[in-house]
Amino acid sequence: MSYTIQQVLIPSPSGYQQSGYAVVDVQIEGDRISAIAPQLEAQGTVIDGRNKLLLPGFVNAHTHSSELWQRGLIPPLPLELWLAHLYDFTPLEPEQIYLSALGTAVETLLSGGTTVVDHLVLIPGRERETIAAAIRGYREVGIRAYVAPLIQDEPFAMALPKGDHKTPALAASEAAPTTAEVLELMQDTIEQYHCPEEGINIVVAPTGIQLCSDALFAGCIELSDRHNLCRHAHLLESQAQQMLAQEKYGCSAVKHLAEIGYLGSRTSLAHCIWLTDADIELMATTQTTVVHNPLSNLRLGSGIAPVLKYRQAGVNVTFGCDGSASNDSQDLLEALKIGSILHNVTDRDYRNWLTPRETIEMAALGGAKGLNAADQRGSLAVGQQADLVLYDLTSLSLLPRTDPIGLLVLGRPSQAVDRVWVNGNPIVTDGQITTLNTTQLRQDLFNQSQWVSNLSSPTMKEMEVRYREVMGLS
């Protein structure tokens, strides 16, 4: 298929540092942008781009799709106690996994995203079905998906620092899978599903240092090198994890991950809040990407990632929504807004603050870089893959006419996404997903859930006393 988008507004072709805009025609041929220039000869389907803004698609660079089933549910709690709830109320049916992948894809697409990185929580004992169900959902919608099965080889009980205690806070209620089992699952998943040409990429993604052995990291590095896969993990999301790293390695988690070779230009790490200046330097020299999840970090009281410091050190930073139970939505534009203005309170020198154009660049090009795909996506340039989003500048939320990118980032855009292409395929037209019956999705999500009036987590009850003590709260 080919398309000509006529007379559409784009950021000044000289780059995001400029403030201007240009009115051009943009042609898509097959999966690529084939031309960008004023008044091109029309080819294929002609689309009226007047009063519309065209941008490269953003990357929702860290989420956990199945948390959709727990959004709005968990009370305000810090990460470790929030996780106890998540653990107790996790969805257990592959059909739910499929539906929450659809919901995550839809919300990402309708807030400017064309790619999702799903750090997919696996149903214990039904890991392969979980992965199959999520991939079925992403294939059906047509969003570009990086599916990163969330793996670990240590029991949940190990995630809290021990402090002065000799034993973990929880009795290990179930044994963790062995390292060999986890790596075998990954090997099978890669062989069965990794297919970048079809928009499905498998990512190696140990959950983080808190629940993973060095052997698991080493196995993931080997798989990633052998199959040219991206690497992902959580990193230093909470102060408890910083303490745990010291207990476990006697050094910072970043130093340890650098030593075992997990960092690098194909590695993106979610959160990165509790890092020292030396850690930031290591992130820069290894060209590791930081995925900033501002809504989740605020919701869980995790802290404020030093994003301005990262930028000054030359670290690539992009944005994620994180899972829906800690956000509690998948609105990428909301993550961009909070993720840019949040940092104004961390640095008195306003010249260091993020501008709306820098924010857009971090979400699109920064996202592509974090997936080692900046040569393929993330920019409006001839030859790039056509992952594009067209915004309707006559939407009430984007009026009156001021600076389109300024208002898109700093405002509260609603129903602003008019069309989306992923790999040249139209996925959204006139603000509607065309690949999926969203009325049916609403019905299915409604039918498979219920209102919850009281919630009690036995795991949290077991953990809370120790948590308060170790964190100096008792």
Nearer to Zn ion, 9 or 61 (CB): 61
Distant-in-sequence contacts of 432-440, Cβ < 8 A, 24+ apart: 433/106, 433/109, 433/110, 433/141, 435/140, 435/141, 435/142, 436/102, 436/106, 436/140, 436/141, 438/106
Nearer to Zn ion, 80 or 322 (CB): 322
Q: Which residues 6+ apart lie within 8 Å of 71 measured at CB? A: 324, 325, 327, 328, 329
At its nearest, how many Å lie between Zn ion and the CB of residue 400?
A: 38
At its nearest, how many Å lie between Zn ion and the CB of residue 51?
A: 38
Question: Could you tell me if 110 and 417 are in contact, meaning their C-beta atoms sit under 8 angstroms apart?
Answer: yes
The helix (run of H) or strand (run of E) holding residue 58 is: strand 58-63
Nearer to Zn ion, 6 or 288 (CB): 288
Nearer to Zn ion, 363 or 398 (CB): 363
At its nearest, how many Å lie between Zn ion and the CB of residue 323?
A: 6
Residues of this chain, 272-331, that bind Zn ion according to CB under 5 A: 322
Using CB under 5 A as the binding criterion, the count of chain residues that bind Zn ion stands at 1
Nearer to Zn ion, 97 or 390 (CB): 97
Residue nearest to Zn ion (CB): 322
Please tell me the number of Cα atoms within 13 Å of 132 on its side-chain side: 10
At its nearest, how many Å lie between Zn ion and the CB of residue 207?
A: 8
Helix (H, G, I), strand (E, B) or coil at 405: helix
DSSP string across 15-28: -TTS--EEEEEEEE
Neighbours of 165 (CB within 10 A): 12
User: For 53, which DSSP code?
Assistant: E
CA-based Rg of the chain, rounded to a whole angstrom? 22
At its nearest, how many Å lie between Zn ion and the CB of residue 342?
A: 18
Please tell me the number of Cα atoms within 13 Å of 18 on its side-chain side: 9
DSSP string across 99-120: HHHHHHHHHHHTTTEEEEEEEE
- Closest among 209, 219, 95, 220 to 158, alpha carbons compared: 209
At its nearest, how many Å lie between Zn ion and the CB of residue 387?
A: 23
Nearer to Zn ion, 118 or 322 (CB): 322
At its nearest, how many Å lie between Zn ion and the CB of residue 61?
A: 11
Nearer to Zn ion, 55 or 272 (CB): 272
At its nearest, how many Å lie between Zn ion and the CB of residue 301?
A: 15
Nearer to Zn ion, 31 or 322 (CB): 322
What is the identity of the amino acid at 204? V
Sites of contact with Zn ion (CB under 5 A): 322
